[in-house]
Structure 1
């Protein structure tokens, strides 16, 4: 509209504000969901109805197809580009979303990596001579110790890494929970006498001697390793460590580290802050459910067993 009235500087300001209000990937996701809605609306017999009604009918359409997660994403896109629903339309939208939350499958807990298996992986990488194997094991170190998402780890540059004694500091420039791309410093400690410290610094010295900008680069493209390449190399690493049948993925490191920290008595709020989880619901989906020992004054019928050892 600003462009139509000839005030291009206002149009540019609006465009910049919209672009910087959310992360680029989030804006792209919103645009995709909005386009899906527009395609459905244009191809249906409902084209003439008001947009607020069409929005709710589209959510009902998604629900009928069991696309419950799409409903949440579409609603966020609608609210961003079209504004929030008002009055009765808002009530209908709320009912549709509440119904979806009841109907969708419960949270599936991904396989969490144990500390023993993490140690086995690092041992393989430490004893490796092949640079790709050293690199992927070093990636495993920061995924586990830094509670990083794979998207955060693969986009790190060499300049984002700072080592002070046994403290590793990583500048995570972009994250799904950092919509304004302000960047976050993630710090963790590695004992200098342990294999993982030697492994990580070995990889760092290798990439420092190249002209690649990224910490985990593709030597052919000079860009970060693709997700498919990382997945393939991690799968190979799991097999070499004898863990091929355990179903580990890139998500297993972050969830495994958080679960291990909880089991070792670290406060949950500290873990959420370290992993940059913004909600308890999101955090819980990463944590391995464990038995809760409840003391009941029964008389013993045999040898004692401590439930905390389960």
Structure 2
């Protein structure tokens, strides 16, 4: 059509013909029909006119305006107001918003400048149900769109696309090209820095930062720099609701903020050292750990389950895998139905059934494997004729609830007739329900009780500390604080003393 001298815009099966006269528009339609062989839906054809709606945008050639329909404009304003209040958003929700903003950009001149970073954020999410935290540049762009659309009347002029003047430049390395290269490198540096911390660490630091901001607002001081006297006051402020170990964690954000600002951290002073030492003595550092799950307790939990129920089998398999593998709950269970990540959570594809038992092979990202730089191999035993066999329970679970996607979470659950991932909250709810049936205090147990119980049982079985550390993938010797040997395990020590002294 363009070779025939017609101005035509085509979008899939929609065609927009724009000419100077009504007769030429009608002639263009006849050419499109008769010579190109298109099948036209006449009910959707608009006669040549000076005002029509194409792709949701009203085009007025009389006033030379582009207009957004008022109803759609109000809907977009409401959606932007909703996004402005959100903290997390899924990939599908961001795609929906970016599509509407891209449509609005046909009328909002320069709008796509404030859409690019939203699209970049979408590209980082693998699946539609994956979520991201709304913060930084993406949130700033959403705020820009919200502020602009709140006062925008939905109209813009049809501008002449011909340049007013021409700009000439050379290929000097210190000119435009050099600045672009520097900008690209700076963007890459910013990207690297945004991946400094794992997502879980970012959430933790955000909690620390929110607490520190609250204190600064309370005493009317800036975040940086902080004097050692005000830091001591912040320690006292935290001591009203936190234990000493938590205080030490919370004030770590202050050091980080000062390093980012190029300021000396006030933490490294004798005055603060004495304040912390005194707080440690007053508050004590004893940690209230959850009670360990023992093999005896596992057998009691089994009596509360119906092994004909697929969901009970799923829960039981998760209990045994958690006990024998020493896995962290963050790698066993997904936090919500929409946040499964095969690079972090145990999946069906990681499970290898063997005659000697089960092998869990996972190149995961965990607390000690931040960069997926090694393969984690965790063996599970095959215990013949035992209700505590993790391999048998896991195999039964896989057969009773097959995977419906690939990759798939290791543990699945049936909810309202639909197969969904077994989330940690669902697992914990089922655990507390079983414990309450056994008349036990449910507040003393959590998902971490399996990791602690498995490590303690390994110690009582005579397994060396090195092997316990390897099975639980502990990087430091902090795992020793989780071990809780029973009285019967400690008794041989005193028996050895008595035997030596009686000779």
User: When the two structures are superposed, what TM-score results if normalisation uses the length of structure 2?
Assistant: 0.51
Q: Which residue pairs with 1:261 in the alignment?
A: 458
Query: Once the two structures are superposed, what CA deviation does each residue of 1:137-194 show, in whole Å capped at 9, x if it has no partner?
Result: 0001110010112222113221222233313214262323333354651412322634
Structure 2 residue 226 is matched with structure 1 residue 51: yes
Q: Which residue pairs with 1:305 in the alignment?
A: none
Partner secondary structure for residue 188 of structure 1: strand
Deviates more, 1:216-225 or 1:74-83: 216-225
Query: Once the two structures are superposed, what CA deviation does each residue of 1:195-224 show, in whole Å capped at 9, x if it has no partner?
Result: 422221011223435337212235458663
Query: Once the two structures are superposed, what CA deviation does each residue of 1:67-88 show, in whole Å capped at 9, x if it has no partner?
Result: 5344222233333443298587
Residue 33 and residue 8 in structure 1: after superposition, are their counterparts in 2 closer, same or farther (change >3 A)? farther
Rounded to whole Å, the distance in 2 between the matches of 1:273 and 1:265 is: 15
Partner secondary structure for residue 51 of structure 1: coil
Structure 1 segment 157-236 matched on structure 2, within 5 A: 157-165=347-355, 166-171=357-362, 173-182=364-373, 184-191=375-382, 193=384, 194-195=386-387, 196=389, 197-211=391-405, 213-219=408-414, 224-236=421-433
State the shift of 1:114 in Å.
2.0
Q: Which residue pairs with 1:107 in the alignment?
A: 287
State the shift of 1:96 in Å.
3.8
Rounded to whole Å, the distance in 2 between the matches of 1:87 and 1:238 is: 47
Residue 29 and residue 87 in structure 1: after superposition, are their counterparts in 2 closer, same or farther (change >3 A)? closer
Gaps of 5+ in 2: 1-136, 138-178, 334-344
State the shift of 1:33 in Å.
1.1
Asked which structure has the greater RCO (Cα within 8 Å, sep 6+), the reply is: 1
Rounded to whole Å, the distance in 1 between the matches of 2:394 and 2:303 is: 12
Aligned pair count reads 295
Structure 2 residue 90 is matched with structure 1 residue 90: no
Of the two, which has the highest radius of gyration?
2
Gaps of 5+ in 1: 301-310
RMSD in angstroms over aligned alpha carbons? Answer: 3.5
Picking from 232, 247, 251, the partner of 1:71 is: 247
Higher helix share: 1
Structure 2 residue 208 is matched with structure 1 residue 33: yes
Q: Which residue pairs with 2:22 in the alignment?
A: none
State the shift of 1:266 in Å.
0.8
Rounded to whole Å, the distance in 2 between the matches of 1:112 and 1:48 is: 41
User: When the two structures are superposed, what TM-score results if normalisation uses the length of structure 1?
Assistant: 0.78
Structure 2 residue 480 is matched with structure 1 residue 283: yes
